[in-house]
Structure 1
């Protein structure tokens, strides 16, 4: 499986500068973070590290991923940007996950959680995306959602309606994201909003990392 293959790839994208004490070997910490983002439960991650001679609690391993503050790399210049949103539940409340991806490379460019979907929030998302990447010349691929089209038009960005084709990349990414949550569905349980967003940003860094 693709997610398993990533576990043997480069780990330079994981920054462990937050570590104050070298109680755990860096290689084990990076593996623990990779296993979490690949969708393994904390209990199973504990078991795997234990077999490698590294005994750590579920909380300690969970904290590694949070403290690492992993972020996707800025400065991309895509020719196309697939733009979409999907419903994500955090505990008993529904949020909307906005995402932008480069369909030519399948890299995620930007992710954000919002309480609803509006033109104003889409404009905020686009402003953040433009601050991170050079998308001024890109063609945005969107579905029929009016708030997406209106926000793009106000921002002076080119777009075209496309329900399938290159937009399938973002649909595959959404399926992968939803499979990674604690319930292997589309629900984060027993977490704060910021915790969920930190996890999502770390997922982007893992997803874009070279194999």
Structure 2
């Protein structure tokens, strides 16, 4: 059973205005979304809600999560950001995971999935990160990944190549993502990039709620 109590205060900001019909009680939608954030599979969520007296399919629960548009909300508290890129597998498919973590709070600031890793995808990730947080005075902490260092250097960002220390925060996040991808992937017969991205952003919301 997922730890729902720890999420109760952290996700009260979820906007349920997307609910067009009152066929499903709002509390059931909240429970479905909270279970998703805590790592329960969609099919297990459907059975759990059924036990509470509301019959909804795993497809309906996925639609709640999709329409809620869950995204990590945080602020930059330090003058450093740990960033990394990594290939992960979901149901046999390869995706490239990009992430940025505040090493001071261990909160995820931004995550993105791409079907490949190139200088262009790296620039897309960094541009979106900069658009959200205005990182003119931030030093990026990176390892010797193929594209992050070269792109940061070419585009004039401040960065340091660091194997350990504060950069470990992003490594811990990536390890947790990889640990949980198998249970996520087993919920789908085929995974679209958009679906995987939504799950990743929901995971970031859950992760950040546990840092407070």
TM bracket, shorter-chain basis: 0.7 to 0.9
**What's the TM-score once normalised by structure 1's chain length?**
0.86
Q: CA deviation at 1:76?
A: 3.8
Q: For residue 69 of structure 1, what is the aligned residue in structure 2?
A: 69
Q: For residue 139 of structure 2, what is the aligned residue in structure 1?
A: 139
Q: Which runs of 5+ in 2 are unaligned?
A: none
**What's the TM-score once normalised by structure 2's chain length?**
0.86
Using the alignment, how far apart are the partners of 1:2 and 1:20 within structure 2?
28
Q: For residue 195 of structure 2, what is the aligned residue in structure 1?
A: 195
Pair 1:22-2:7 in alignment: no
Tell me the alpha carbon deviations over residues 29-53 of structure 1, each in whole angstroms, 9 at most, x when there is no partner.
Answer: 1121121121112232123222322
Q: How many residues align?
A: 211
1:131-170 mapped onto 2 (5 Å cutoff): 131-170=131-170
C-alpha RMSD over aligned residues: 2.7
Using the alignment, how far apart are the partners of 1:189 and 1:102 within structure 2?
34
Larger deviation, residues 187-196 vs 105-114: 187-196
Q: CA deviation at 1:2?
A: 9.3
Q: Which runs of 5+ in 1 are unaligned?
A: none
Q: For residue 129 of structure 2, what is the aligned residue in structure 1?
A: 129
Q: For residue 116 of structure 2, what is the aligned residue in structure 1?
A: 116
Are the counterparts in 2 of residues 178 and 186 from structure 1 also a CA contact under 8 Å?
Answer: no
Are the counterparts in 2 of residues 39 and 181 from structure 1 also a CA contact under 8 Å?
Answer: no
Are the counterparts in 2 of residues 96 and 117 from structure 1 also a CA contact under 8 Å?
Answer: yes
Tell me the alpha carbon deviations over residues 67-118 of structure 1, each in whole angstroms, 9 at most, x when there is no partner.
Answer: 2111223664642110101212244431211111111111111111122222
Using the alignment, how far apart are the partners of 1:142 and 1:12 within structure 2?
34
